[in-house]
Amino acid sequence: MELRDIEIFLVVAEELHFGRSAERLLVSQARVSQAIRKQERRIGAALFERTSRTVRLTSVGRQLRDDLQPVYAGLHASLERARMTASGVTGRLRVGMMPFNLVDMHHYWRTFRSRHPQWELEIRQLAYVDPFGRLRDDAMDVLVTWLPVQEPDLTVGPVLCTDSRVLAVAAGHPLAERTSAHLEMFADFQHAVAPNMPDYWEDSYLPFHTAQGRPIERGSLVTNAEELINQVGMGEIIHGFPSHVTRHWGMPNIRWLPVTDLAALSFALVWRTEAENELISALADTVREAGTLRF
């Protein structure tokens, strides 16, 4: 299997969407489909289950992903170390974002880079797929995500921002003319959910029940922000967000309702405890000194 085909397979296995994979890889969707078909013919089994709405790994696909990830990561890391050495860079810090990388947060990144020009800082938006796994498999060094995080192998660092809550609904939705929302309303409509989220962590973002004990129903699985907001805009679901999304998405078909009875979300640096190093400590120090943003 050629290296490029391995990369294509692993990106599709992460994104679970052929169009987004093509955009990320800077190739055509036809090229992605062709590479996957070639691998499936060579192996003699399907790697993905495809429907008009979803893409999922088969058992063979999951096994191949698990086998290839460490091999590809090791080769990619070796090439990166050679490139960095040649350019005088002595280290790289990879930060995965669960909130959007708003311009307000750029002060943290600029300060870190100015203090430590010998290190590269790489900021990446993550898909909504097993984000703690990205730390544990060494795909990311630091995660920016909402609290609480109660994982015994992870360290919770300083808070970058604290954000109030809004409910997103389509412009033609029955709630669209309201000026605010409360949690009890959430139980009247479908919501979406991301895969592989710990229950306590999902509940802190979108509770499973209202204060009166009514279930808040989850509908289809989503793996990225674009898919999520598209379902809201089509009126298929409503969904709660931290309020910073209103500054990222200016969409005429979406109405944003302040939620009066949901606690604000705080987003913090999180990293694998045993992987803590000089670069991670330096970023944590930068955030502590700069202070917490409030939206």
pLDDT in tens, 59-76: 999 999 999 988 888 887
Instruction: Name residues of the chain where pLDDT drops below 70.
Output: 1, 81, 84, 86-88
What pLDDT, on a 0 to 100 scale, did the predictor assign at position 248?
85
Give the C-alpha separation, 73 to 7, whole Å: 10
Tell me the per-residue pLDDT of 190-209, one tens digit each, with 9 for 90 and over: 999 888 889 999 999 999 99
Right CATH number for 3-82 from 1.10.10.60, 3.40.640.10, 1.10.3720.10, 1.10.10.10? Answer: 1.10.10.10
CATH architecture designation of domain 165-263: 3-Layer(aba) Sandwich (3.40)
CA distance 70 to 287: 31
pLDDT at 88: 66
CATH 3.40.190.10 segments of the chain: 89-162+266-294, 165-263
Q: Output the 3-class SS for the chain.
A: CCHHHHHHHHHHHHHCCHHHHHHHHCCCHHHHHHHHHHHHHHHCCCCEEECCCCEEECHHHHHHHHHHHHHHHHHHHHHHHHHHHHHCCCEEEEEEECCCCCHHHHHHHHHHHHHCCCEEEEEEECCCCCHHHHHHCCCCCEEEEECCCCCCCEEEEEEEEEECEEEEEECCCCCCCCCCECHHHHCCCCEEECCCCCHHHHHHHCCCECCCCCECCEEEECCCHHHHHHHHHCCCCCEEEECCHHHHCCCCCEEEEEECCCCCEEEEEEEEHHHCCHHHHHHHHHHHHHCCEEC
Phi, psi of 174 (to 5 degrees): -55, -25
pLDDT at 84: 67
Where does CATH 1.10.10.10 sit in the chain?
3-82
Give the chain's length.
295
- The yes or no reply on domain 89-162+266-294 and CATH 3.40.190.10 is yes
Pairwise CA distance, residues 232 & 254, whole Å: 8
pTM score: 0.73
Q: What does the block give as tokens for 228? A: 């999520």
Q: What is the pLDDT of residue 159?
A: 98
